[in-house]
């Protein structure tokens, strides 16, 4: 049994949810998002609650039950508060700065890396060694942060690179004479 699926998703004030078939649309102060659930679950909207119920006792129905509830909860969180990923840049000469809608990264390559923010995502660089990715969709925010991190992943010997804030990098000792 899904423990997370049993709990209904509460809609805070200023957020509305509308259901058409298996597609639910959530609107709030930070925008609107839609999610189409599979035929293994039933979505219902009553008062300020969104409930997700499985349509059978199969393993797939139970899997979709918890996942669908989490997707709806993430949509509600996204349109009210939004999601945020913070990245730190470590390394001599490694820098980040915003130029309009483009993030310009100096990462030790022979050229600067220009990263354009997709629609619905806001990228800011409060310091030269910090990048903040914000948006309403958790999946898109995580994907953009991962794409920025991929330009120079943290290496285990000196720890240089782009890492998530608070991420632990296992350090190796290196060669000895």
- Would you say 144 and 133 are in contact if contact means Cβ atoms under 8 Å apart? yes
Superfamily of domain 83-164 in CATH is Ribosomal protein L6 (3.90.930.12)
Q: Give the residue-averaged pLDDT of 117-123.
A: 92
Q: Give the residue-averaged pLDDT of 145-152.
A: 95
Domain locations in the chain as residue ranges: 3-80, 83-164
86: left (phi over 0), alpha (psi -120 to 50) or beta: beta
16-20 and 102-106 beta bridge pairing: unpaired
Q: Give the residue-averaged pLDDT of 60-64.
A: 91
**Topology given in CATH for the domain delimited by 3-80:** Outer Surface Protein A; domain 3 (3.90.930)
Domains 3-80 and 83-164 share a fold: yes
3-state secondary structure of 106: strand
Going by C-alpha positions, the residue among 147, 151, 145 that lies closest to residue 164 is 145
Q: Is the confidence at residue 1, as pLDDT, over 90?
A: no
């Amino acid at each position: 049994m899904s423990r997370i699926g049993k709990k209904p998703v509460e809609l805070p004030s200023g957020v509305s949810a509308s259901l058409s078939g298996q597609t639910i649309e959530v609107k709030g102060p930070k925008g609107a998002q839609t999610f189409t659930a599979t035929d293994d679950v039933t979505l219902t909207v009553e008062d300020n609650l969104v409930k997700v119920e499985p349509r059978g006792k199969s393993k797939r129905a139970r899997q979709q039950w918890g996942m669908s509830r989490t997707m709806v909860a993430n949509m509600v969180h996204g349109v009210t508060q939004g999601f945020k990923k913070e990245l730190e840049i470590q390394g001599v000469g490694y820098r980040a700065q915003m130029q309009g809608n483009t993030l310009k990264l100096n990462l030790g390559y022979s050229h600067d890396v220009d990263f354009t923010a997709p629609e619905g995502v806001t990228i800011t660089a409060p310091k030269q060694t910090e990048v903040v990715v914000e948006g309403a969709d958790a999946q898109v925010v995580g994907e953009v942060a991962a794409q920025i991190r991929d330009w120079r992943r943290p290496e285990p010997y000196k720890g240089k690179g782009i890492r998530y804030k608070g991420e632990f990098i296992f350090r190796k000792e290196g060669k000895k004479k």
